[in-house]
A and B are shown apart, each in its own frame.
Chain A
């Protein structure tokens, strides 16, 4: 097994295709063309685990945007006496980290023109990345609220008003400047649910709240002892990719 690149100096580079193909490199965990002859050795970092989200400052949102998104996700998934809402579940953190990463940049997607985003029946055709859509839509939401609620921001209006406005975005009754209110609602709702139910590694689903709420045991990988125990409640608590609280003994 040898890397092709080792004799690259002797090869003629096709410039146009070269620039294009070099764009692949960022798309894959494993970087370069390989010639495989014989079984490749186990390569422990070639297919890396997820990049675990760390607490800390917002990576994509401005402070004002973050306040609005936290207020939005907390209405899409409101807190109740048993289970945290979107804000405490970390949905805004999840969205922030997603938008700061490859997802936010539409990495790997086909983004060549022409864009016909008036068509609604042939798949998404927006020229904008998710990061751009959030930025524009949150600015539009800000502007709308300022006008409609006497200078107040979305986070400052009463919950009932928030729900009314979200409903109006959903139905298309309220349009935002420079962006589709309904399109933003759909994107936000999808990302919020992702944040509520994805592995906590990504910053949402804090304390596995989404999983505990529905009874999903998470990243467990072996149910052979339970496959024929029909109509019984599965007894074990959820675990995540990075483990479970009960696996780590408390110090002291």
Chain B
């Protein structure tokens, strides 16, 4: 029996980027907010100080900052004919855990999606015709436009202090920025990061090839910056420990260094850590959420009643909680009906390795969002007509580190051990440079999330089950953009170059990205979306679902900027529309 706590105005599940933003915005509106976080409290000086933050084994290899699969995991299968098996350890992606969520250990690549990404199905259908899309591709429009989201992208970037150079300022194209980006209302908060040798050399090759390379937008800051909340971040030191690591320098944008120091001091906010939400409670009609039930680390069960429930957990676990709570109709791939678990998507990454003879890249001098890129092969920035696929990605020189356990290698044919291996890694470590693509992952009828029939978590709840594999369209896309990347990388002058386009089947052992998306997507139609354009549940209007969970499909960019922007967009809708008149903000 859960013991009932005093009611609060708002309960937030998960205190990462979206939970922190929502908590801040709604406490500003005068509401009492309680956030419930499954993992521990974390801060820079205690948890990842510069004295030991730079530990590849502990943080990267042994996953110290991440969710423990023993706490919660999911099962995986390539298709509905297979039996799903549990992810017993993490491989292909790394779900976050603890205060700050993925914001603690991301690379901080801070990209906006393209204008056409938000109206993807209409745009592609108009340009190429309905028949150009694979029959089982279930991409759709978001229900919002880039213009709707622009002020909120701006808010998130100014919260973070993002370093970059605008390529489109209010409709004016500017040399040195991304010519394909949607119009920005103002310049980036801070100038671009400095570039090490690799990106500089690649950018030169890109210019020679007729492209306009630009610096990748970075949440690792080029200089000290004080954000609108009065919180100050320090300059990045190019240490090469970003993704998988907490930043000891206060220079990577995270909830810890942008928003929590303000939020935690508010009297109308509190957080519970190491408490796992079991379910969202609803009243007898099933149309109203009454709060959440959670279990703390002593095993005691609590009910937190609230007028408003905000799901701000990691993408996968938002979907898990919706399914466990019986909110919304679960997706059925046989009929195509139902929305919870529908349109799961991922990211399609690839790389090109260049082994050089006369170059020293000092790969350890880097940041997680360093690099020079081009966007000519992203989204629908190029004519797909001749190619027979849709989608794309940014490509460029964004090697983020030189940490030796995972980055030492030799060209193909190098043995994996013995004297020859030793000689090869000693010879190639400083003189190898890897360029990358970051491709879109569109949604399909047979790719989805549901509950596993066999495996349970430590609370006895059914695990989430993922059914996913790459489709022909994505593999063709990856081949094409990897070839274009290689065209440019070749001009850097490697002695040996190796292309690694993404190949199927999906390999869960190999890290790709933690950009899992969808499963409770946003849209205009309750038949094909779980939440409306304001991230509000169609079924339970006092429940909102944030994060990449809402992406109808994933674009060829890292998702966090869009996740942050959607959090501000949803917060704005709650503050300025919902609170005045609690109820559905859109009538289907």
Which residues in A have some Cβ–Cβ distance to B below 8 Å? 4-5, 8, 11-25, 27-40, 42-44, 46-47, 49-50, 75-78, 80, 83, 103, 107-112, 114, 116, 119, 121-125, 163, 166, 170, 189, 192-194, 197-199, 201-202, 210-211, 213-224, 226-228, 230-234, 241
Residues of B within 8 A of A38 (CB): 264-265
Q: Kindly provide the distance from the CB of B464 to the nearest chain A CB, expressed in whole angstroms.
A: 12
- Inter-chain contact B91/A123, CB cutoff 8 Å: yes
With known contacts A19-B299, A47-B46, A199–B237 Cβ distance under 8 A:
no
Q: With an 8 A cutoff between CB atoms, is B169 at the interface? A: no
A220 to B366, CA, bound (A): 12
Closest to B72 in A: A110
Residues of B within 8 A of A107 (CB): 70
- Inter-chain contact B57/A35, CB cutoff 8 Å: no
- From B68, B86, B241, give the contact of A27 (CB < 8 A): B68
With known contacts A198-B56, A202-B57, A221-B50, A75–B418 Cβ distance under 8 A:
yes
With known contacts A83-B426, A197-B408, A123–B274 Cβ distance under 8 A:
no
Q: With an 8 A cutoff between CB atoms, is B197 at the interface? A: yes
- Inter-chain contact B56/A27, CB cutoff 8 Å: no
Q: How many A-B residue pairs have CB under 8 A?
A: 291
With known contacts A24-B274, A47-B42, A199–B57 Cβ distance under 8 A:
yes
- Inter-chain contact A35/B76, CB cutoff 8 Å: no
A43 to B201, CA, bound (A): 44
- Inter-chain contact B271/A111, CB cutoff 8 Å: no
A157 to B274, CA, bound (A): 53
- Inter-chain contact B69/A83, CB cutoff 8 Å: no
With known contacts A123-B87, A202-B57, A233-B360, A214–B430 Cβ distance under 8 A:
yes
A18 to B297, CA, bound (A): 8
- Further pairs besides A123-B89, A233-B360, A241-B54: 17, Cβ < 8 Å: A16-B460, A19-B299, A21-B276, A28-B40, A39-B265, A42-B45, A77-B422, A109-B69, A110-B89, A122-B84, A220-B54, A221-B54, A222-B237, A222-B239, A223-B364, A224-B235, A232-B362
With known contacts A24-B274, A31-B297, A77-B417, A47–B264 Cβ distance under 8 A:
no
With known contacts A12-B3, A17-B295, A18-B300, A198–B57 Cβ distance under 8 A:
yes
Over the window 508-519 of chain B, the binary record of Cβ atoms lying under 8 Å from chain A Cβ atoms (1 yes, 0 no) is 110000000000
Q: Which of B144-152, B284-292, B450-458, B472-480 is found at the contact surface with chain A?
A: B450-458
- From B249, B265, B300, B361, give the contact of A221 (CB < 8 A): B249
Residues of A within 8 A of B297 (CB): 21-22, 24-25, 31-33
Residues of B within 8 A of A189 (CB): 416-417
Residues of B within 8 A of A37 (CB): 264, 267, 269-271
- From A13, A215, A217, give the contact of B300 (CB < 8 A): A13
Please provide the chain B residues from 297 to 335 with a CB less than 8 Å away from any CB of chain A in the complex. Answer: 297-301
A4 to B265, CA, bound (A): 19
Closest to A43 in B: B46
Residues of A within 8 A of B274 (CB): 24, 28, 30, 32-34
With known contacts A21-B297, A50-B58, A223-B364, A110–B405 Cβ distance under 8 A:
no
A125 to B3, CA, bound (A): 38
Q: Looking at chain B, what size class is its interface with the partner chain?
A: 35 or more
Residues of B within 8 A of A25 (CB): 297
Residues of B within 8 A of A199 (CB): 55-57
- Inter-chain contact B362/A234, CB cutoff 8 Å: yes
Q: With an 8 A cutoff between CB atoms, is B196 at the interface? A: yes
- From A75, A193, A215, A230, give the contact of B429 (CB < 8 A): A215
Closest to A5 in B: B298
- Inter-chain contact B85/A197, CB cutoff 8 Å: no
Q: Kindly provide the distance from the CB of A80 to the nearest chain B CB, expressed in whole angstroms.
A: 7
With known contacts A24-B71, A189-B416, A13–B248 Cβ distance under 8 A:
no
Residues of A within 8 A of B70 (CB): 23, 27, 107-111
- Inter-chain contact A21/B296, CB cutoff 8 Å: yes
A20 to B56, CA, bound (A): 30
Over the window 263-283 of chain B, the binary record of Cβ atoms lying under 8 Å from chain A Cβ atoms (1 yes, 0 no) is 011010111111110000000
Q: Kindly provide the distance from the CB of B158 to the nearest chain A CB, expressed in whole angstroms.
A: 23
With known contacts A33-B273, A202-B57, A230-B196, A49–B426 Cβ distance under 8 A:
no
- From A29, A103, A216, give the contact of B40 (CB < 8 A): A29
A109 to B89, CA, bound (A): 6
A14 to B285, CA, bound (A): 28
Residues of B within 8 A of A194 (CB): 57, 61, 405
Q: Kindly provide the distance from the CB of A118 to the nearest chain B CB, expressed in whole angstroms.
A: 10
A75 to B418, CA, bound (A): 6
Residues of B within 8 A of A43 (CB): 46
- Inter-chain contact B43/A40, CB cutoff 8 Å: yes
- From A11, A20, A76, give the contact of B458 (CB < 8 A): A20
Please provide the chain B residues from 48 to 66 with a CB less than 8 Å away from any CB of chain A in the complex. Answer: 48-58, 61-63
- Inter-chain contact B417/A11, CB cutoff 8 Å: no
- Inter-chain contact A80/B56, CB cutoff 8 Å: no
- Inter-chain contact B89/A121, CB cutoff 8 Å: no
A111 to B73, CA, bound (A): 11
Over the window 437-459 of chain B, the binary record of Cβ atoms lying under 8 Å from chain A Cβ atoms (1 yes, 0 no) is 00000000000000000111011
A34 to B127, CA, bound (A): 54
Q: Kindly provide the distance from the CB of A126 to the nearest chain B CB, expressed in whole angstroms.
A: 8
Q: Kindly provide the distance from the CB of B451 to the nearest chain A CB, expressed in whole angstroms.
A: 16
Residues of A within 8 A of B507 (CB): 121
Residues of B within 8 A of A17 (CB): 295, 299, 301, 458-460
Residues of B within 8 A of A80 (CB): 419, 422-423
A200 to B455, CA, bound (A): 39
Residues of A within 8 A of B123 (CB): none
- Inter-chain contact A231/B418, CB cutoff 8 Å: no
Residues of B within 8 A of A224 (CB): 235, 237-238
- Inter-chain contact A34/B298, CB cutoff 8 Å: no
A111 to B457, CA, bound (A): 10
- A-B contacts, 9 listed (Cβ < 8 Å): A12-B301, A17-B458, A28-B39, A32-B274, A32-B297, A40-B41, A109-B70, A123-B88, A234-B365
A163 to B249, CA, bound (A): 46
A98 to B321, CA, bound (A): 35
With known contacts A76-B418, A111-B88, A199-B55, A13–B299 Cβ distance under 8 A:
yes
With known contacts A25-B297, A216-B404, A103–B62 Cβ distance under 8 A:
yes
- Inter-chain contact B417/A216, CB cutoff 8 Å: no
Closest to A127 in B: B88
- Give 8 nearest A-B pairs by CB, closest first: A18-B299, A47-B47, A214-B429, A108-B68, A20-B458, A110-B69, A230-B197, A198-B57
- Inter-chain contact B416/A14, CB cutoff 8 Å: no
Residues of A within 8 A of B76 (CB): 122-123
- From B88, B418, B423, give the contact of A163 (CB < 8 A): B418
Q: Kindly provide the distance from the CB of A167 to the nearest chain B CB, expressed in whole angstroms.
A: 9
A30 to B297, CA, bound (A): 11
Closest to B63 in A: A108
- Inter-chain contact A217/B239, CB cutoff 8 Å: no
- From B195, B272, B405, B418, give the contact of A78 (CB < 8 A): B418
Residues of A within 8 A of B364 (CB): 216-217, 220, 223, 234
Q: With an 8 A cutoff between CB atoms, is B505 at the interface? A: yes
- Inter-chain contact B46/A221, CB cutoff 8 Å: no
Q: Kindly provide the distance from the CB of B74 to the nearest chain A CB, expressed in whole angstroms.
A: 9
Closest to B84 in A: A122
Residues of B within 8 A of A192 (CB): 417
- Inter-chain contact A227/B41, CB cutoff 8 Å: no
Residues of A within 8 A of B201 (CB): 230
A46 to B73, CA, bound (A): 26
